[in-house]
């Protein structure tokens, strides 16, 4: 469902008339995303790379088709990209445009669908929370959907007696904050009410809440994702039992 919503906005994907090819290739990519990088036929990593290659092929065909279209009215994100490609002063090129489409299809889908799944899992065991539904932050804190983020030290950094040499790769682990008992009382408990007394983290992130990352690379889709999840939950609890 989430893939269809995002892909409709980005590339006018119509899930009801689609043969499922794009989705299957995408799924192959997702399955091997964190796999051991052994590039030989049969491995999860190989399937992942093939999936990415095939999705890029489909997106490229789509972009070329759309570029040829004579009658033109902007309806989705591809149109915005094509418009940008035509601009003489643009930094955009076809490779960047295709990478952007791929990235947004991925970032807009895998994360939010996992977030909804986690929310449902926690709600199933908590009828009181189901009644109040102020749950999204708490589910994201416990689920740690983006388990790691990567950074590179562009200069030598001194922090708490340690030295991080210039050029080091840093792996940020939000779960070590989200599950820290000095920050969150009884951190493993699903307790949406803990958010009642705190204000919303500024811009969606704080040192204590990093489900959407933070700083310059803060998730651009954070509010969109929370809106999608809230709409989903609203429909679920008001229309279904
Ligand atoms: C529950 C849902 C989501 C979670 C938990 C999530 C999490 C994150 C995190 C942790 C980052 C930071 C990565 C880093 O610092 O290296 C990030 C970045 C990003 N996210 Fe999300 N995300 C979600 C939904 C979405 C959606 C719906 C979209 C787009 C429609 C999206 C698009 C992006 C993009 C483009 C970036 C890169 C931003 C940049 O580097 O400037 N995300 N997300």
The domain boundary residue, chosen from 48, 63, 92? 92
Domain count, the chain: 2
Same domain assignment for residues 126 and 205: yes
Per-residue model confidence (pLDDT) at position 117: 92
Residue 138 lies in a domain: yes
CATH number of the domain to which 140 belongs: 1.10.630.10
- DSSP string for residues in the chain: -HHHHHHHHHH---TTT--SHHHHHHHHHHHTTTS----STTSHHHHHHHHHHHHHHHHHHHHHHHHH-SS----SHHHHHHHHHH-TT----HHHHHHHHHHHHHHTTHHHHHHHHHHHHHHHT-HHHHHH---HHHHHHHH-SS--EEEE-SS-EEETTEEE-TT-EEEE-THHHHT-TTTSSSTTS--GGGGTTSPPPGGG--SS--TT--GGG--TTHHHHHHHHHHHHHHHHHH--
pTM to 2 decimal places: 0.76
Kindly state if the Cβ of 142 falls inside 6 Å of ligand 1.
no
Kindly state if the Cβ of 209 falls inside 6 Å of ligand 1.
no
Residue 103 lies in a domain: no
* Ligand 1 nearest atom to the CA of residue 215, by list position: 15
Kindly state if the Cβ of 145 falls inside 6 Å of ligand 1.
yes
Ranges 64-73, 85-94, 211-220: which has the least confidence? 64-73
Residue 104 lies in a domain: no
Same domain assignment for residues 116 and 87: no
Question: How far, in Å, is the centroid of ligand 1 from the Cα of 177?
Answer: 18
Kindly state if the Cβ of 81 falls inside 6 Å of ligand 1.
no
Residue 101 lies in a domain: no
Ligand-binding site membership of 235 (annotated): no
For residue 70, pLDDT beyond 90: no
Q: Which residue range forms the structural domain that includes residue 75?
A: 1-92
Same domain assignment for residues 137 and 170: yes
């Amino acid at each position: 469902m989430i893939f269809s919503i995002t892909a409709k906005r980005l590339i006018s994907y119509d899930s009801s008339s689609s043969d499922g090819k794009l989705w299957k290739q995408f799924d192959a990519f997702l399955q091997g995303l964190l796999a051991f990088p052994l590039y030989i036929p049969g491995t999860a990593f190989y399937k992942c790379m093939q999936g990415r290659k095939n999705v890029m092929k489909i997106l490229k065909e789509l972009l070329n088709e759309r570029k040829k279209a004579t009658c033109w009215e902007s309806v989705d994100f591809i149109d915005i990209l094509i418009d940008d490609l035509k601009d003489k002063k643009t930094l955009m090129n076809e490779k960047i445009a295709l990478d952007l489409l791929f990235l947004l299809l991925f970032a807009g889908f895998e994360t939010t669908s996992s977030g909804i799944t986690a929310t449902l899992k926690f709600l199933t065991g908590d009828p009181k929370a189901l009644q109040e539904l102020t749950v999204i932050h708490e589910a994201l804190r416990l689920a740690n959907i983006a388990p790691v983020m990567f950074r590179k030290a562009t200069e030598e950094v001194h922090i708490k007696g340690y030295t991080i040499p210039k050029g080091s790769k840093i792996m940020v682990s939000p779960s070590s904050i989200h599950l820290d008992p000095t920050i969150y009382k009884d951190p493993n408990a699903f307790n949406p009410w803990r958010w009642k007394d705190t204000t919303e983290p500024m811009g969606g992130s704080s040192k204590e809440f990093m489900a959407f990352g933070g700083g310059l690379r803060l998730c651009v889709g954070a509010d969109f994702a929370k809106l999608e999840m809230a709409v989903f939950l609203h429909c679920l609890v008001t229309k279904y039992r």
